[in-house]
Structure 1
Amino acid sequence: MFDTMTITKAVASVCGALLVFLMGAWLAETLYHTGGHGKDAEQAYVIPTGEDDAAEEEVVEEVPFAELFAAADPAAGERLFRACAACHKLEQGANGTGPYLWGVVGRPKHAAEGFGYSSAMMEQEGEWSPENLDAFLENPKGYTPGTAMSYNGMRDAGDRANLIAYLATFGG
C-alpha cells in the first residue's frame, strides 16, 4: 500500500510545512522586534491601547469618611433614598421587606422591632454608626456575608455620606 515514493512525499511535505512556519516566524520577529530577544527586547511597532492613560486616571486620593460625612448634603441623600424606599420605610415600627430606618444612625444592629433578621445579620454586633453604615452600604454582602439584602452596594463614597446624613435626620 505504501511505497517508498509515497513515504518520501509525506516526509517532504511535513518538512516543507515546518520550513514555511519557521521562515514566517523569523520574518515576523525581524519586522516587529529590534535589538535582542527575551523580556528586555524593545518592540519596533507598538499599538497604542490607552492602558497607560487608564492607569494614570485611576489614581484617586481617598478622602476620609469623617470629612465626607461632615460635608454631606441631606437633601442629596433624600434623592438617593428613593432606591432604598422599595424595601425600607422611614416610619418608626413600619417594617417593609427590610427593617424600618427611623433612627437607624446610632441604633444597635438588628434592633428594629418586629423585623425578622437573617442569621448573618443577627451575628453582627455593635451599632449602626455612620462608619459602619458606610461600610455596609458600600458592599452589603462583603460586610455581612450571608445577608438576605439583595442590594449590590453604593460605590460612590460621597453618595453614601449624603444618604447617611439624610437618615440621621430621622429619629436622631
Structure 2
Amino acid sequence: MFDTMTVTKIIGGFCGTLLIFLLGSWAAEELYATESGGHGDEVVQGYAIEVAEAETGGAEEETVDFATVFAAADAGSGERVFGKCKACHELEDGANGVGPHLYGVVERAVGSVAGYNYSGALKAVAEVWGVEELNGFLENPKGYAPGTKMGFSGLRDVEDRANLIAYLQTVGG
C-alpha cells in the first residue's frame, strides 16, 4: 500500500503547512496588533483620525428649533432613514433584535419591552420616550445616555431625526 517514505512525505507536508499557517498568524498579529494596557483592559481597534475644527470666522452656528423642524417632518422620508436602524431594531411588536423592538416606541415607557435587558443608563435619563427624548437620544446616544449599550453614533441631521420620529409615530401608535 504505502511505503514509509510516502507516509513521511505526507506527514512532512502537513507539518510544513501547519508551520506556514502559524508563521502567517504570528506575522499578522505583529502587523495589526493594537496596544493594550494589560489584562482586563478594553482593546479598541482602529486608528484615531484627528480632524481640525472648521473655523467659523467668529460667527455663531445657527441653532435650529427641533419643534419647528418636527412640525414639518415627513414620515415617508423617516421610513428611508429607518434603514439605518434595521440592522438592530425590528418594527414588529415583541420581535426584539440586537436592540428592543420599536413598535409603539413614541410615548412608550423607557425600559418597558419585555424580554429585553436594558442598560441602567437608559432608565436613568428619561421615563418616557417622548419626541424630545428621542431627538436627544438619536442625535448622540452615548452623549445622551452615557453607558448605553447602543453602539450607533447618532443622526447629526435634525431633519433626519424629525422624519424618523414622525415615521416611528406611525408604527403601532
User: TM-score, length-normalised on structure 2?
Assistant: 0.65
Q: Work out which of the two has the higher radius of gyration on C-alpha atoms and give 1 or 2.
A: 1
Aligned to 1:122: 123
In 2, Cα distance between equivalents of 1:82 and 1:116:
23
**What is the identity, as a one-letter code, of the residue corresponding to 1:79?**
R
Aligned to 2:114: 113
For residue 122 of structure 1, report the CA deviation from its aligned partner: 3.1
Alignment of 1:58-69 (within 5 A): 59-69=60-70
Aligned to 1:164: 165
For residue 140 of structure 1, report the CA deviation from its aligned partner: 0.3
C-alpha RMSD over aligned residues: 1.8
Structure 1: tracts of 5 or more residues without a match: 1-52
Alignment of 1:7-22 (within 5 A): none
8 Å CA contact retained: 2:106, 2:130: yes
Change (3 A) 1:122 1:59: closer
In 1, Cα distance between equivalents of 2:138 and 2:154:
5
**What is the identity, as a one-letter code, of the residue corresponding to 2:172?**
G
In structure 1, the residue corresponding to 2:153 is in which secondary structure? Answer: coil
Aligned to 2:101: 100
Structure 2: tracts of 5 or more residues without a match: 1-53
User: TM-score, length-normalised on structure 1?
Assistant: 0.65
Aligned to 2:82: 81
For residue 121 of structure 1, report the CA deviation from its aligned partner: 2.1
8 Å CA contact retained: 2:126, 2:133: no
Q: How many residues align?
A: 120
In 2, Cα distance between equivalents of 1:76 and 1:116:
30
**What is the identity, as a one-letter code, of the residue corresponding to 2:125?**
Q
